[in-house]
Chains A and B, each alone.
Chain A
Amino acid sequence: MSRLLSRRTHRCLTFAIIAMLTAFSVGLASAPVNAASPNGNASERHCIAKATRVGTPVRFAVPVAVCFPTFAQALSAATAGSTQLSAGFKAKDLTRGQIRPSVQTVISIDFVDAQWSGNTLTWYVDNDVGCANFDEYWADTMPLGWNDVVSSAQMYDSCNFATHFEHTGFAGAYIDCLGNGCYTMGAMNDATSSEHWRK
């Protein structure tokens, strides 16, 4: 009997730990993304994710977002530590010239709010070329917590086009964010489910 109870207790504990870990990881990835963040306060979340080069066989992998409390920390991670910004630096103020060369290249930043504000998702690629050699990149789906939340976007490196699609797999309506990016996204506001970058 005591052995049975012990087994049950063990099972319950295991289940509780798994449930807590799941809730914690989901919370990290999704809940903070929509949190209000008008003044760079503690509710801000700034995430990074790796875009997949077109032609590699892992097209359908769901990108994993790693999140930080400040944009400066996120950009440092996205550039493998090469770019260090002040703690209160705003993502909307980032210029191409401020990003230092690295083995990882930042290609764009998505914002939860319009006018390049709110929580951010910085996309990077694991090479120092970006789109310069006409390499193209895509994200077949958005990272957990980032589906249907993007309201503005900026582009970096040589990726002049960042197309945001309504559905996963580059389907449905879309908006081409060109040059400096999309200050607002019109009908595509809060509708992005996949992305494609090119020169």
Chain B
Amino acid sequence: MAYTAQDFKSNQEVRWCPGCGDHAVLASLQRALPEVCEALGYTKENFVFVSGIGCSSRLPYYMNTFGFHSIHGRATAISTGVKVANPTLTVWQATGDGDALAIGGNHFIHAIRRNIDINIILFNNQIYGLTKGQYSPTSKLGAITKTSPYGTVEHPFNPGALVLGSRGTFFARSLDSEMKLNQEIFVAAAKHDGTSVCEMLVNCVIFNDGAHSAISDREHRADRTIILRHGEPMIFGKDKNKGLVLDGQKLKVVTIGENGINEKDILVHNATTNETGVHNMLVEMKYPDFPVALGIIRDVKDMTYDDNVRDQLIEVKEKSKIHSVDELLHSGATWEVK
């Protein structure tokens, strides 16, 4: 049976603010899932959406699938339990910058380290929305919010760098309104065996409007972002004439046709290399010095926790002489009283 986006929409009214970036992410997700089903043979009942607390964590209610809206920060641990308990499920997680990187930071990095096969959609709006406008671990240094009336005095996390530092095997980044790219990313995340982190830069129209506008404004977007695709040269810009090259050990923006640079000098994106060097540089690129990297930055193969658990269960079961509780109770030193 072929699904459509409509099949994944629940009958619940979507309650995000009008203009919130989450709407577009939800729509692209619902469009991606029929393709996921077709590619991987899943049916609708195989999907579980888990979330924590925050605006984006309302997402499971809007999906016509199994869902678990849990408590603040703990979605990653709950997703882990669901996947280990039943590895045939496709487990997705909706989380925000506060939920995943502040209160749930510990679970986030350990799920990535274990490489459990879950798909994490990280809605990064750089603010606490549901509590009405306090700074988050991704708010820019100096951000003025209700709890930082004079500006924050702490550096933000770069989620991509955190993922790579936690041995991440899949990291992608996109903008809420890049719906086609989002769809592509979600399909790739589903296909990836291991923890996939999809960072969605979303706009909070109420408490942090325009946080990403420097790169997301239609007018400048092509010049200030670069969409990376595995195997393709890192070219960007309105006129497709800018690119990235390696200058010594650093990335550098160049213009094709200037200073003797031609297209074949441009770095080709390799998302599947185990080496983290270039991936690290790509996730760290910031406007105005660099275009912000979007697309699938890293997608590498590694063993997964859930596969290893399953393999160990099979192996130990085959080797063991104890296959029932009665046998267990009588194992080891026992004695008879007659």
Tell me whether A and B are bound partners: no
Q: Which residues of B contact A (CB under 8 A)?
A: none
Q: Which residues of A contact B (CB under 8 A)?
A: none
